[in-house]
Every structure is written in C-alpha cells, then in structure tokens.
C-alpha cells in the first residue's frame, strides 16, 4: 500500500486490516526500497543521455497540464521535450499534449494514486532519449503519495494555484519539503481572490527553506519567461555535466 494514504499500488497485492502492523511496515519498507533501486537505475539512464527530468506534482486542477501545453508550445524549436502523463483513468491530458506535437506516453495507474519508478522506466522506452532534452513527468494529481516515490527525476516541481489557498504547504509539508521548485500558478486571478502570495511563500519556506518559487500564469503568460529561463539553464547544465 501507499505508505502515506494506505491506498493500494498497481504493483502490490491487497493486504487485509487484520494482518500485524509489523508485517505491513515491512511490506511498505520493501516497496520503497524496490522503488528506490529502480529510481537509481532510471537516474543513471537519464544521466547517461544528458536528459533533464522534472516530476510535476500538485493537487488536481492546479494547472499542470496547462503549464505544460504553453511551455511546449512556446519553447518549440528551442528544446526537444518528451512527456509522461500520469492519471488514474483516461488519456485526456495525453491527447492535449499530443496536440502540441511533442512525444507523449499516457500511464494509467487505475487505483494507484501516484507514479512509481517502475512505470517511468517502462514509459520512457517509447521515447528517443538521445534526441530529447527535457522529460516532463506529470504525476497523478495528489499532494500526498507522490512525495514518497523517487522516479529518478532531477527535481520535483510542486504546482500550487492561487485558487487552492495559501496554507497548502503547511497542510501537505511532505510534498513541499520534497520539491525543489514551487510554481504559484493562475496569478491572473489574484484580483478576484483572497490569496496572500507572500504568506504562501513564507509557509513554503517554513517547510523548505531552500525551495525556489516562481509566480506565473499559463493563461496570461505573466512570469512564464522566468520559468523558461530556468528550464533552459538547467537542461544545458545537465547536458554538459
């Protein structure tokens, strides 16, 4: 089961509530240990290919897919992207990404609430990694479970929209502690909301003093250049490392 919320994972059998707690803990530890081994294998492959990899995490509706759509469109011709789309059901988001012309692979997790390293390792088999500069992994919408699962990425990027409330970093500290970057999205809506941007940033830094924060709107385009500059800089460093 997922160690955070108790939901079953696609690669694990169901475990009944009457089983001893110690056995459950061992199963959880073994699950994470196996995932970490596969994540290390993914990371070695990505490093060999000079591939910069981001794991985008958020609650549902934060705008991850919309940010991806605009990013892929605006940086067309500058960076070669590939995208892994994680959702429990449907290929709706993958269809949206495919419309940009970028290679995309949908991963449906069924009852699982997150992607794991095994899924990612198989998912990237569909791409020409040698010809790819940045791999974007859009995780299942969930601010709990994906925090615990390393996929072999360079950074977790937490997306938080201004419609969600500025206290999310305190409510879900595991995710914002695991993330290196936070994107505060939909800032074009700020005139219509009671969202305190500075308080949100302070809460995030309370959980993770080193977290980097960009404020942007994938609708209006405000702040997107800062995000693009960071992507290009990081991809260049990875390629030349």
Kindly list the structural domains of the chain, giving each domain's residue range(s) and its CATH number in brackets, ordered by start.
21-240 (3.40.50.300)
Helix, strand or coil, per DSSP, at residue 13? coil
The pLDDT assigned to 8 comes to 47
Distance (Å, whole) CA 57 – CA 63: 10
Helix, strand or coil, per DSSP, at residue 197? helix
Q: Are 41 and 144 in contact (CB under 8 A)?
A: no
Distance (Å, whole) CA 128 – CA 133: 10
Q: For 24-44, how does the pLDDT look when each residue is reduced to its tens digit (9 = 90+)?
A: 666 566 788 999 999 999 999
Q: For 168-220, how does the pLDDT look when each residue is reduced to its tens digit (9 = 90+)?
A: 999 999 999 999 999 999 999 999 999 999 999 999 999 999 999 999 999 99
Whole-model pTM? 0.89
The CA-atom distances, in angstroms, between 6 and each of 87, 97, 101, 140 are 18, 31, 37, 16
Tokens of residue 75, six digits:
């940086």
Say whether pLDDT at 152 is over 60: yes
Could you write out the three-class secondary structure of 61-125? CCCHHHHHHHHHHHCCCCCCEEEEEEECCCCHHHHHHHCCCCCEEEEECCCCCCCCHHHHHHHHH
The pLDDT assigned to 130 comes to 95
Distance (Å, whole) CA 61 – CA 58: 8
Q: Are 139 and 114 in contact (CB under 8 A)?
A: yes
């Amino acid at each position: 089961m997922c160690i955070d919320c108790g939901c079953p994972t696609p690669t694990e059998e169901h475990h009944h509530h009457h089983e001893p707690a110690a056995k459950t803990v061992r199963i959880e530890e073994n699950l994470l240990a196996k995932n970490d081994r596969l994540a290390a294998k993914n990371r070695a492959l990505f490093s060999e290919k000079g591939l910069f990899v981001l794991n985008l995490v958020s609650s549902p509706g934060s705008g991850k897919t919309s940010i991806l759509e605009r990013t892929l469109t605006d940086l067309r011709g500058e960076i070669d992207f590939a995208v892994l789309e994680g959702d429990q059901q449907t290929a709706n988001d993958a269809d949206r990404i495919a419309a940009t012309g970028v290679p995309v692979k949908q991963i449906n997790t069924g009852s699982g609430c997150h992607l794991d390293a095994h899924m990612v390792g198989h998912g990237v088999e569909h791409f020409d990694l040698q010809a790819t500069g940045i791999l974007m992994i859009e995780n299942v919408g969930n601010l709990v479970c994906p925090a615990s699962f390393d996929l072999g990425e360079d950074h977790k990027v937490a997306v938080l929209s201004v419609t969600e409330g500025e206290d999310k970093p305190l409510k879900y500290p595991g995710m914002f502690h695991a993330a290196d970057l936070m994107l505060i999205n939909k800032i074009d809506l700020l005139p219509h909301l009671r969202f305190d941007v500075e308080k949100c940033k302070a809460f995030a830094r309370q959980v993770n003093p080193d977290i980097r924060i960009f404020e942007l709107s994938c609708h209006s385009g405000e702040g997107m250049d800062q995000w693009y500059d960071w992507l290009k800089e990081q991809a260049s460093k990875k390629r030349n490392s």
